[in-house]
Every structure is written in structure tokens, then in C-alpha cells.
Amino acid sequence: MMNEYISEMVAQEDKSTAEHSGRVAKIADILGRALRLSESELLTLDEAAKLHDIGKIKVDVKILQKPARLTDEEFAEIKKHTVYGFTMISPKDDMIASLILSHHERWDGSGYPNGLSGCNIPYLSRVIAVADSIDAMMSDRCYRKALSWSQCLDELDKNRNKMYDPKVVDAAFVCQAMIFNALCAD
């Protein structure tokens, strides 16, 4: 299932999303092992991490790649990628679809699309959220430069209990060298 969608992304020239998703899956795997997930949970996590932004296929590329500040309407459209991804994947796999739906929820309930908080957010979505943020902060974006590794760790720490499950942030600190090396190897 996964490969078919990833090739679709590449075919649609959304290469940066496909590459980002590959790195998110690597980071999520490191976090998942530190959190002692089972082998079957790690497989689910890998698949959901690789597909987490699949719904961006349905968002206008002009909005995705806009180098300037987004309008409220444009931001609302980008946020829909969670629901688009859910709708695309749910006929094939409910579990993966629900993880995709919740990857932008935040620990304090300020995320989207449903404003879930704490342990109401599926556990593996909380792992993907941290992996996703790490890769996003460590990458140049059209509207800003990448952060340094120490700035990235500071942000994770500042946002524990706000954006992120503190337990997942702890795991990121425990295996920070492995994550940094994985990003450098890419």
C-alpha cells in the first residue's frame, strides 16, 4: 500500500514531502524502539510515518510551496491534509488512517483537526508528531532556514506538555545522538 502512494507523491513531483516522510519514519523508528514498542507496533508506526502527509496530494501545490506568509484560508486548506489523508487510507487500513488523522494533534489540545489532548491522541500519532517536528525544524523551508540541533532540542524541551507527549520528548533526548546521526546520514 505504502509504496503505491509514495510513488504517486514522487510522480506528482511532491518529492520533498516523500523525502521528509522517509526521514520522519527513520526518526519515529528510533523513538519507537526507545519507547519499547512491539515489533508489530513498529511496523504500524513505520507505515503511518511514511504516509502521514499523503493528504497533501490533494492540497494545491501553490499553497504548499508558497514562500510568503499564508492567509488564514490557505492555512485552513493545508490543515485539511490530515482529513484528506484519513479519507484516502481508511478504506484500506483504519488503524493507519486514524494515526494519519491525528498527527497534528497537540498534547495540550491546541492541535487539529479534532483538538484531542493527552492520552486521547493515539499513542503512535504522538510519536509521529515529535519525529515530524524534528525533521521539519532541521530542514530549510521556503519561508525559513533550518534550526541548529541544539535549537531543535530546546524547542522540543520547551514544548513538552504543550505540543508533545513528555514521554516521547524524553525518548528523543535519550536517543538524541542516534537521531542526529540518522539526519546527517540522509
Segment interacting with Fe ion, rule: CB under 5 A, options 48-56, 60-68, 136-144, 167-175: 48-56
The grid coordinates of residue 26 equal 527513520
Task: For Fe ion, give the closer residue by CB, 81 or 160.
Answer: 81
Residues 94-113 within binding reach of Fe ion (CB under 5 A): none
**135 touches Fe ion by CB under 5 A:** no
Cis amide leading into 166 (omega within 30):
no
**3-state class (DSSP) for residue 110:** coil
44 or 82, CB closer to Fe ion? 82
3 state DSSP class of 36: coil
**Residue count, binding to Fe ion (CB under 5 A):** 1
Shortest spacing between CB 82 and Fe ion, in angstroms: 7
**C-beta closer to Fe ion: residue 79 or 174:** 79
**Nearest approach, Cβ of residue 37 and Fe ion (Å):** 21
Distance, in Å, from the CA atom of 106 to the CA atom of 111, rounded to the nearest integer, reads 5
Grid coordinates of 33: 524502539
CA distances from 77 to 5, 73, 112 (A): 21, 6, 12
Nearest residue to the partner Fe ion, using Cβ: 53
Among 14, 29, 53, 105, binds Fe ion (CB under 5 A): 53
Which CB atom, from 80 or from 178, has the smaller least distance to Fe ion? 80
d(CA 138, CA 115) in angstroms, rounded, equals 26
CB of 2 to Fe ion, least distance (A): 16
Give the C-alpha separation, 112 to 103, whole Å. Answer: 8
62 CB-contact burial (10 Å; exposed 0-12 / middle 13-18 / buried 19+): exposed
Residue 159 or 174 having the CB closest to Fe ion: 159
Q: Which stretch binds Fe ion (CB under 5 A): 6-14, 32-40, 51-59, 139-147?
A: 51-59
The residues binding Fe ion (CB under 5 A) are 53
